Structure formats: structure tokens, C-alpha cells
Amino acid sequence: KQKLLTGAERWKTMSADEKSVMKKRFNRWKSLSSEDRAVLRLRMKHFQSLPPEEKKRLRNKQTWFKNLPESKQKKLKHRWQNLSPQKKHELRQRIRKSATHDRRQFKQTITNRQSH
């Protein structure tokens, strides 16, 4: 069984690109309010407790576009580029709204869970 590296050891073995990604993530984390951090911690904990296939499904949900065949990606990109600015704006708003809705629902389930 291989020994787990400590943070410092892991840092030494990282490439410059990996380091810059980590720094960005850390700065983003530092700039969050404490309640946002708390929500994220709960979300991470919640994610950890999920069964492997559910984790996989959620991870794939984020990369659904990359998982599409090349031709399909091209078609979608092309369709997006040909939309009018208003239509693009409308769609972005819809996406944002549904994301906010998901977040709210998640906060709700978390708070409900804590009150039990």
C-alpha cells in the first residue's frame, strides 16, 4: 500500500500548471463568505456520502458536452453561434435561474436535515 503524500510533499511534485490551478481555487475559496463556505462543505460532505454510481452520474453531468461525439458538439456549437444575442441572453438567464433553483433546493434539504 503506498503512503499518502502530505500537502507539502504533494505540492513539490506538482507541475506549474497544477500549482496555478490550486492557487486560483484557494483564492476563490478565501474570497467566499463563511456561509457560502459552510454550504460548500455540506455539499462536499453530501457528495462524499453518495453511492459511487451517483457520484459518477453527477461528475458526468458537468462534462456532458465533452462526452458528446465530435459531430454533435460541432452541430451544437454551430447552432449556438447562429442564435441572436437576445436568444442567447434568454437561454443564459434560464440556465442561471435553474442553477439558482437547484442551489436553493439544496440549501433547503440541508437545513431540513439539520433541523431533524
Per-residue tens of pLDDT for the chain, all 116 residues: 567 778 888 889 989 999 999 999 899 889 988 888 998 899 889 889 999 988 888 887 767 787 788 899 899 889 989 999 999 899 888 887 777 777 777 777 767 766 65
CA distances from residue 113 to 46, 108, 110, 116 in whole angstroms, order as listed: 11, 8, 5, 6
How far apart are alpha carbons 10 and 41 in whole angstroms?
Answer: 22
How far apart are alpha carbons 30 and 96 in whole angstroms?
Answer: 24
> Can you give the pLDDT at residue 36?
87
How far apart are alpha carbons 91 and 10 in whole angstroms?
Answer: 41
Domain ranges, ordered by start, for the chain: 34-82, 83-116
How far apart are alpha carbons 68 and 46 in whole angstroms?
Answer: 28
